[in-house]
Structure 1
Amino acid sequence: MFKWPFKFLSIFIISFCVANGYAQQINKAKKLIDFVNPFIGTGGHGHTYPGATMPFGMMQLSPDTRLDGWDGCSGYHYSDEYIYGFSHTHLSGTGVSDYGDVLLMPTNTANFNNGADGKSGYRAHFLHKNETASPGFYKVLLDETNIEVKLTVSERSGIHHYTFPKNSKQIVILDLEHRDKVLSSEIKILSKTEISGHRHSDAWAKDQRLFFNIEFSRPYKNVTFLDDKREGKKVKAAFEFDPSVGNELEIKIAISAVDEAGAKKNLKTEIGDKSFQQVKTEAETAWEKQLKKIEIETQNENQKTIFYTALYHTMIAPNIYQDVDGRYRGMDLQIHQSNDFQNYTVFSLWDTYRAAHPLYTIIEKERTNDFINSLLAKHDEGGILPIWPLAGNYTGCMIGYHAVPVIADAYVKGIRGYDTKKAFEAMKHSAMKDKLGLKSYKEFGFIPVEEESESVSKTLEYAYDDWTIAEMAKAMGKMEDYKIYTERAQYYKNVFDPETKFMRGRFRNTWFAPFDPYEVNFNYTEANSWQYSFYAPQDISGLINLMGGKAAFENQLDELFTAEVETSGRQQVDITGLIGQYAHGNEPSHHMAYLYNFVNKPSKTQEKVHQILNELYQNAPDGISGNEDCGQMSAWYVFSAMGFYPVTPASNQYIIGTPLFESATINLEDRKSFKIEAENLSDKNKYIASVTLNGKPLNRSFIYHSEIMDGGKLVFKMTDKPSTWATKDEEIPKTEITENLIVPAPFIAKGDVAFKNQTEISLGVVSAKTEIFYSLNDSEFKKYNQPFTISEEIILKTYSKKDNAKSAILTTHFYKIDPNLSITLQTEYANQYNGGGKNALIDGIHGANDFRTGTWQGYHDLDLKATINLGSSKEVNTVSVNFLQDQRSWIFYPTEVICSVSENGTDFTELPIKKIEAEKPSEETEIKTIQFEVAKNIQFIKIIAKNLGDLPKEHLGFGGKAWLFVDEIEVK
């Protein structure tokens, strides 16, 4: 159990033990739960919570110190000084807020104000020195009221234990309005010691349904309801207890997503008449059993704490989402019965498919079957495998269809306690949809920027997901499917620019420009090109070849880790933990340090992994370099500290890095164990001199899943200098696609899609010895040999061919801008929303509803000021300008649009100003055309569109600045 701060006490104990030769004995004598510090990740951007929960439990009973904001996603932040109360559901390490259901708060006044306005209320001040947390237990002293709070849990239920000051008022607030938008809620009084009710809410999960049952250890004296309401959207109650009976009060509570009867049954079954201490002991026993799945030995208790806290964090989610009788609420929000598997929710799959789920295939085989059965049930109930399911809801968050690699990885590892045929069909169903860019992806072999946001990241991650389908198809003997999905797995090649050696957006078959690999824009998901250009884990050999071979690939990796740490473009809070442009705080980077093994340089992997382990994980509240993300940040640490990592889930390979501990033992479910030992290990001796597996030399820099699951011993001999271990070609890992090879689609290497006078067009393709064919305005295709020039509007069609294989046919519309027409911009647009460049507003190409597709020109906290020169005096009837509104994305209409016209460029006449109610709240994404009547001869037109500036108070981003998006100024 940790009581923060503990650093000086730990240092004293370690020093004393070492001096007396007893460090190792004491180290072994302590329980593993004593090495878990739940406060790690509660500061910075870790977004974890310190409260009590069970392994993969449904209840997370924890203090709430923050009501909103990105760093309040878990409800708690270490920098806060006030506790609003103790709610029963929390998310661990997510980047979006939800939960915080059913808040209870002991106090001494029946004040329903939560104190968030800074005025008196039921919130209370606390100090971290009076706060304690350990697995399954939390305690704090509310110093403002001198009330001690202790919390513990079972899987679906928990106990609050309050100790009030003697002779003080004893009041407990039940607040059902706390945090998320309430859809409906109710408190039912069943007796003086029992209440029940529900809270249905709208947040990340748009329709979360939760029911509760509460038992007080003694009768309340009286109860007061806010506005005398027991049901509705603002339901709060104050229960007062008689202080003469005693100063201690216990509250037992259970939750259910099914109904109040389910909550009551959960409470009776799990806790019943058990004491607080009994429930706490059971929770601690459960956690001790969980943590013993991996046992490490080290003299460094600080690192041991980091490791076991990381292992603890991998075991918090996914969460059980069914009652003790097997009933649960499905993705159709109906009640279902599970008899042969346990249903789970909270699958942060974009994060956890990378390492957390592969970790579960080693230490949670049976639970992995439950996870997959849960995903398949969600497919049956909701119509598709989920991407990020939460409390019976599809959140629509993140990209890819990463339930697919979770299933495929388990299948190829022999974990098959589910309907494998149904699983495979569900995987293909996800891959064959037309949503989220998949229609273009299937048709062209990549997603164009203008068709879908985050097009590069989606293309890359779909390609990996497809490879895992192919691997499962091959294992099942489905060779036709294997061919289809192996081909799709190579689509990553279509977004690789051979000139810059980066993954780039393809904008109307040209490369998105101007290009800056440091720029964070909507071609990528929470990243820039640096952080996605090494993502082809299914075909690393192919990626190495694209980059010019092993030496070039190694140099590019070196530059990744030594590049400037600043990013450009839009602010992205998820890009943290930077070493150069390697961003350990966000998942797309997690495999990159291990890629040196693939180019015969394992010592560089050892250097980088050692650095990340020691610098980016600390025994401190701000000890995780980014959002913990439901176990993925911690799973990287758990794997890497043991000495290996799953770079390519579904390959059955783990790439060796460098061990952090003298010994680590994985205790497998079949009672076998796999032991890892490191001889001659020290901070300087981070390099591997040699390795043995079960007493025999292991010269390759990877191990197989079966070698772990068969049990045995892996021994590292360490040294202080890079060695020649595993540096030969036959000793390095490979993931490569050698069958069903595709012909990458050609691209327009040079040429303006919207041009004046003429433009020269050059075509290119990423693969060598590949022919390109093109057609102009549906003429017969001919072979491309050299650049050609066009001077009129045309339709260009191209495809590439190699041997008997062909790429998709791509079509690009080239627009000719009136050569006499010009535009001067007096204000600067943001490059990531350049719309096509300086002529974007007069190029004849109109923006679509999705601002991320690159067709709009964006101005952040700036007015649009533009002057158009028609080239000569002309009769103009109307001038129109288009603006986009997407308030959820901070894009607002202008408050007013001013148009002035002139014949000589000096004397301007201002037309009637067009005013817009830009602040008016709207959930709709809309395009508004503002038109001015002119009806005179003019040559010059000035357009000024006033940016809203400060976001409205009711907006989620209040305190920030608005965006103004404009496209196409038309003159008729």
Structure 2
Amino acid sequence: MKKAILFILLPTLLFAQDFAKHVNPFIGTGGHGHTFPGATVPYGMVQLSPDTRIDGSWDGCGGYHYDDSTIYGFSHTHLNGTGVSDYGDIMLMPTMGKPSFDKNIYSSTFSHANEKASAGFYAVKLEKHNIDVRLTTSTRVGLHEYTFNKAGQANIILDLNHRDKLLEGTIRIIDDRTIEVLRRSEAWARNQYVFARIEFNVPLKVNLVKEENKENTKLEGIYKGTELALSFSKSVKKGEKIHVKVSLSPTSYEGAKLNSSEINLLDFEKVKKEAEILWNKELSKIEVTSDDKDKLAIFYTALYHTMMQPNIAQDLDGKYRGRDNQIHTAEGFDYYTVFSLWDTFRGAHPLYTLIDKKRTSDYINTFIKQYEQGGRLPVWELASNETDCMIGYHSVSVIADAMAKGITGFDYEKAFEASKASAMRDVLGLEAYKKNGFISMDDEHESVSKTLEYAYDDWCIAQMAKLLKKQEDYQYFMMRSQNWKNIFDWETGFMRPKKNGGWDKPFDPREVNNNFTEGNSWQYSFFVPQDIEGLIQAHGGKDKFEVKLDALFNAESKTTGREQVDVTGLIGQYAHGNEPSHHMAYLYNYVGKPEKTNEKVKYILDNFYKNTPDGLIGNEDCGQMSAWYVLSSIGLYQVTPGQEYINTVDPIFENVNIKNTEKLIKLPRTQEKESYFINFELYDWVNCLRHKPRENYYYIVPIIDVENKSFVTDLKIELKPYKSIGKVYYSFDDELNFKEYKSPILIKKSTKVNAYTEIYHYTEFSIDSTAIRSNTISAQFFKKPNNYSINIKSKYNPQYHAGGPEGLLDGILGTENWRKGDWQGYQSQDFEAVVDLQEVKDITEISARFLQDQRSWIVMPTKVEYYISDDNVNFTYFGSINNTLDPKIEENIILNFTANETKNKKARYVKVIAKNFGKLPEWHQGFGGDAFIFVDEITVK
């Protein structure tokens, strides 16, 4: 007997149930979830929460970790589950007695036994001075209530040097109950503006000031600087309460004053109740029933986490700070910020299209304004700053998905214009991607992931073009969407990095390295959501693709290469703790095995989500981790945002009601082939597999199969077409006449080899054929400037090998982008190597190139020493150079450490020793870690 789950259109009524009671804000605050437990309302500007970590550490990105026992203060902005630290703006901390700006003095211990959190509310007892703190918020205002449980001098510390770097601080005393604040700061967002209006319910006086490293007791006026803190005080009786209202604005003091009208300073219980009402209104959009309280807590906390961002970023009058850093007014839509699009395009935004069409159109209108003001769509936008974090241009996925589902309220033509403009730029590997049909290691780091994600995004743009009847654009972007095939190795069945026209070797699909974004080949070889049928065909059909999926989930749960903290929640090589894996369990639906989808999804739901502080298996990532749970638990997941079809799976709840859907949809709980996929037009499921791109192998570029870029005497080059189909043509250097490739080519000098594939394509409707040509690719080969050899005494990190020892003598110079693979990296050790010149020579100069990128722990050596020898046993001193580059400089810099000798010295062997920087200092975010030395080329004259 079939059981059915009903998706019911409900009228917009006041909810009768208390959904907010199920929310547990502590889920994800432990482990690696990076969430925060403080008070906020749905999509609110204010996230008022305690800060237990102020060092910017990875597990402290949300400002709080459940393992901690010290609170440094309560700040008004926080990020939900990100992997990079920022926010923590406008920090207040109540204390007693003599005030201090020493964080170790004004901080306080606390106990979880005296801590409470619910949707829109947080409370804790500060043990040091026995102060009870309660917090709640409206959209733009945070409200504090401090109860001082003993008599004495009460202080409220306002420290603008909290967490990130203060670029500009201003505190203006309006009167003894009101102050205004500007905090302009730099962290992940390089230029963030926060204006605040702080109001007390009782008069307070300034009793200590820290201004530009000076402390004084100046009583009134305007305070400015990059070191700025004030203490406000009054004498209190035992049990006396002080209320503090903090109103935020991204635009101005006037905006903060306007926003303060949202709530009354003394109405704490009313504001708390209104926050609960707002949460119940949003959470009621999906109603599930269960007798399992933990399951309800996990579900509604997950839904809660999806609604903590994006955040409203405009004042009550519509004014907002745009991407051009100018003040604008939103007309006809609300302006938002915090778009973690690499994460959220997969599940969170498809969820919003289901339950929040108005905000979906507001998000897209925000994207369009950012395009108009900043020249491109957002990638990872934060506080009017483009962080350029992660990859792709996944705004186009959100736009295409909304258009496919008929969501209105934004300009389709303008959205397409912005999408196309963002895809036609020549940055981050796009120039090579457009020219060659893929990105090589030589072009850009994370080349495999970028090729795959650009290809999906291009498919999204093609869907927009099709809807808007732009046939030429449709064909162009559909062709680009097939670029994934240029990095698919048909022999191994994996997506592989290419280098100099061929496959990079050696290859280990488990290896986490700089060719992938937070993952490895296993975790990216299934990311072709726009052409799943093509991917299945490339593997040899459904049966073989099923075997490949089984191998993914049954492989050893161990990665090699770089330690990647994001790769968690492993089932085989599937990593649920990071987003690239999130669609993979649903791929069994495409080979007719929904029972396997059900099995894997249920395992993930049961094991990777818990009603505990460490109840998330990886970073929350602005709602994506929770969106997966919300959708999968109710029986849905959209593998391909940008089309109206949604995958189905057995839901874990008996009853699910979704408000504001446009149709009544019944999903069978027992999967049969008709229920693998649905859409809201109730078409037959197979429609979602029709009209897919075929295996267009005739556009795939050839492989230039050579091990290394450099050679000593001569080099044999082989050219291979995809699956040996078609012919390959080649030329050298700038020759225009291409010759057909028939046998391996031998070159004896530095040469550029150009090649393309050509195949005759027969259409379905005609016996006529057309010769179709792939992109022309090029590979550069270098004859070494010498026959030197090298013996490296140190051990390089296998992630950073530059092609092996000879990479230090090949005459190929690495660039500032070390992630492309042309540098050798040595950690926790000095670098030492001996170069054999093969014969005794006159030596006048020795040099070696080193790179610094301190943010990545790569620091210049403190000193480089050179020695020479005739016998490789007894070495004499040639020269040395001390480093003079400041290790704090953030730019990537390359330096030559060169030693000269006015008189020629004869030797056969040259020893190079570079002294490692050692442990990273306290100012560094990796304090205590071991620095790298990165070396590229050794030159002997």
Scaled by the length of structure 1, the TM-score of the pair is 0.90
**Corresponding residue for 2:10?**
none
Report what 1:264 is aligned to: 257
Could you say which residue in structure 1 is the equivalent of 2:616?
624
Aligned with 1:793 (options 747, 750, 755): 750
1:299 maps to 2:308 = no
Deviations 1:197-237 (A, max 9, x none): 21111111111111111221122255432323722122222
8 Å Cα contact 1:109-1:122 kept in structure 2: no
Name the residue aligned to 1:216: 200
- After superposition, the C-alpha distances for 1:113-155 in whole angstroms (9 at most, x for unaligned) are 3434xxxx11111111111111111111112222111111110
Does the Cα contact within 8 Å between 2:91 and 2:160 map onto a contact in 1? yes
Partners of 2:312 and 2:292 lie apart in 1 by 34
Q: What is residue 48 of structure 1 aligned with on the other side?
A: 35
Give 1:511 shift: 1.4
Deviations 1:297-351 (A, max 9, x none): 1121111110100000000100000000111111111111112110000000000
Deviation track 1:68-118 (CA, whole Å, cap 9, x = no partner) reads: 2111111111111011111111110111111111111121134323434xx
3-state SS of paired residue (1:968): strand
Q: Deviation string for 1:554-581 (max 9, x for gaps)?
A: 2222121122222222221111111111
CA offset at residue 705 of structure 1? 3.8
**Do the aligned residues in 2 keep the contact of 1:351 with 1:587 (CA within 8 Å)?**
yes
For 1:43-82, list aligned pairs within 5 A. 43-68=30-55, 69-82=57-70
2:880 pairs with 1:924: no
Alignment partners' CA distance in 1, 2:113 and 2:327: 45
Residue in 1 that maps onto 2:831: 864
CA offsets, 1:874-901, max 9 Å, x none? 3333322111122222111112222222
Partner of residue 774, structure 1: 730
Give the equivalent residue in structure 2 for 1:653.
645
SS at match of 1:649: coil
Structure 2 CA distance for aligned equivalents of residues 76 and 751 of structure 1:
49
Q: For residues 868 and 183 of structure 2, what CA distance do their matches in structure 1 show?
A: 59
When residues 665 and 114 of structure 1 are mapped into structure 2, their CA distance, relative to the original with a 3 A threshold, is farther
Q: CA deviation at 1:416?
A: 2.2
AA paired with 1:70?
W
Match of 2:185 among 201, 204, 221: 201
Q: 2 CA distance for matches of 1:819 and 1:602?
A: 60
Q: Distance in 2 between matches of 1:826 and 1:592?
A: 44
Shift of 1:699: 2.0
Aligned to 1:88: 76
**Higher RCO (CA 8 Å, separation ≥ 6 residues):** 2
CA drift at 1:689: 5.1
Which residue does 1:4 correspond to in 2? none
Contact 1:892/1:918 (CA < 8 Å) preserved in 2? Answer: no
Structure 2: which amino acid aligns with 1:890? Answer: W
Contact 1:186 1:198 in 2 (8 A): yes
Q: Distance in 2 between matches of 1:110 and 1:707?
A: 69
Alignment of 1:811-890 (within 5 A): 811-817=778-784, 820-890=787-857
Distance 1:517 1:959 in 2: 31
- Which residue does the alignment assign to 2:489? 497
Among residues 391, 394, 401, which one is paired with 2:383 in the alignment? 391
> What is the distance in 2 between the residues matched to 1:165 and 1:309?
33
Task: Give the counterpart of 1:32 among 14, 19, 27.
Answer: 19
**What SS does the corresponding residue of 2:622 show, helix, strand or coil?**
helix
Structure 1 residue 903: Cα displacement? 2.3
Tell me how far apart the structure 1 counterparts of residues 23 and 605 of structure 2 sit (CA, whole Å).
17
Residue 237 (structure 1) aligned with residue 193 (structure 2): no
Look up the match of 1:154: 138
**CA contact 1:842–1:969 (8 Å) conserved in 2:** yes
Q: 1:126 aligns with which of 103, 107, 110?
A: 110
The 1-side partners of 2:661 and 2:256 are apart by 32
Pick one of 905, 929, 935 that aligns with 1:936: 905
Q: Report the Cα offset of residue 588 of structure 1.
A: 0.7
1:703 corresponding residue in structure 2: 678
Q: Is 1:901 the counterpart of 2:868 in the alignment?
A: yes
CA–CA distance in 2 between the matches of 1:562 and 1:871?
51
The letter for the 2-side match of 1:465 is D
RMSD: 2.2
Which of 241, 245, 251 is residue 244 of structure 2 equivalent to? 251
Q: Evaluate the alpha carbon distance shift between residue 173 and residue 422 of structure 1 in structure 2; reply closer, same or farther with a 3 A threshold.
A: same
Letter in 2 for 1:865: E
Shift in alpha-carbon separation, 1:824–1:207, aligned structure 2, 3 A? same
Q: What's the offset of the Cα at 1:246?
A: 6.2
Residues 656/806 of structure 1: CA separation in 2 closer, same or farther (3 Å cut): same
| Cα gap change, 1:196 to 1:795, in 2 (>3 Å) | closer
- Alpha-carbon shift at residue 257 of structure 1 (Å): 0.8
Amino acid corresponding to residue 54 of structure 1 in structure 2: V
Return the offset for 1:767. 4.9
Q: How does 1:374-385 map to 2 (within 5 A)?
A: 374-385=366-377
**Alignment equivalent of 2:331, drawn from 332, 336, 339:** 339
After superposition, the Cα gap between the structure-2 partners of 1:870 and 1:561, relative to the gap in structure 1 and judged at 3 Å, is: same
Q: CA contact under 8 A between 1:540 and 1:735: conserved in structure 2?
A: no
Contact 1:700/1:732 (CA < 8 Å) preserved in 2?
no
- Aligned letter for 2:355? I
2-side partners of 1:327 and 1:819: how far apart? 65
Superposition pairs of residues 101-140 of structure 1, within 5 angstroms: 101-116=89-104, 121-140=105-124
Following TM superposition, where does structure 1 have runs of at least 4 consecutive aligned residues deviating by more than 4 angstroms?
672-678, 729-735, 739-742
Q: 2:317 aligns with which of 311, 325, 328?
A: 325
- In structure 2, the partner of 1:11 is none
Task: Tell me, yes or no, if the aligned pair for 2:400 and 2:463 is still in contact at 8 Å.
Answer: yes
Q: Is the 8 A contact 1:664 1:677 kept in 2?
A: no
CA distance in 2 between counterparts of 1:522 and 1:876 reads: 37
Offset at residue 753 of structure 1 (A)? 2.2
Tell me: CA distance 1:195–1:531, structure 2 relative to 1, closer, same or farther (3 Å): same
1:344-423 superposed matches below 5 A: 344-423=336-415
Residue 526 (structure 1) aligns with: 518
* 1:763 to 2:697 alignment: no
Distance 1:423 1:198, change over 3 A: same
Contact 1:487 1:740 in 2 (8 A): no
Q: Where does the alignment leave 5 or more consecutive residues of structure 2 unmatched?
A: 1-14, 761-770
* Matched position secondary structure for 2:454: helix
**Unaligned 5+ runs, structure 1:** 1-27, 679-687, 691-697, 709-725
Determine the structure 2 residue equivalent to 1:754.
710
Deviates more, 1:585-594 or 1:104-113: 104-113
The one of 540, 562, 578 equivalent to 1:548 is 540
CA pair 365-29 structure 1, distance change in 2 beyond 3 A: closer
TM-score by length of 2: 0.93
Question: Which AA in structure 1 matches 2:888?
Answer: P
1: distance between equivalents of 2:109 and 2:698?
Answer: 63
Write out per-residue CA displacement over residues 15-68 of structure 1, whole angstroms, 9 at most, x where no aligned residue. Answer: xxxxxxxxxxxxx99621111100001011111111111100100011111102
**1:436 maps to which residue?**
428
The offset of 1:653, in angstroms, is 1.4
- Aligned residue pairs: how many? 904
Q: Secondary structure at the match of 1:883?
A: strand
Structure 2 counterpart SS, 1:630? coil
CA distance, structure 1, for counterparts of residue 570 and residue 40 of structure 2:
31
Counterpart Cα distance in 1 of 2:146 and 2:682: 51
Find the aligned partners of 1:488 and 1:783 in 2 and give their Cα distance: 26
The amino acid of 2:195's aligned partner reads F
Q: Whole-Å Cα distance in 1 between the matches of residues 912 and 65 of structure 2?
A: 46
Counterpart amino acid of residue 915 in structure 2 = K
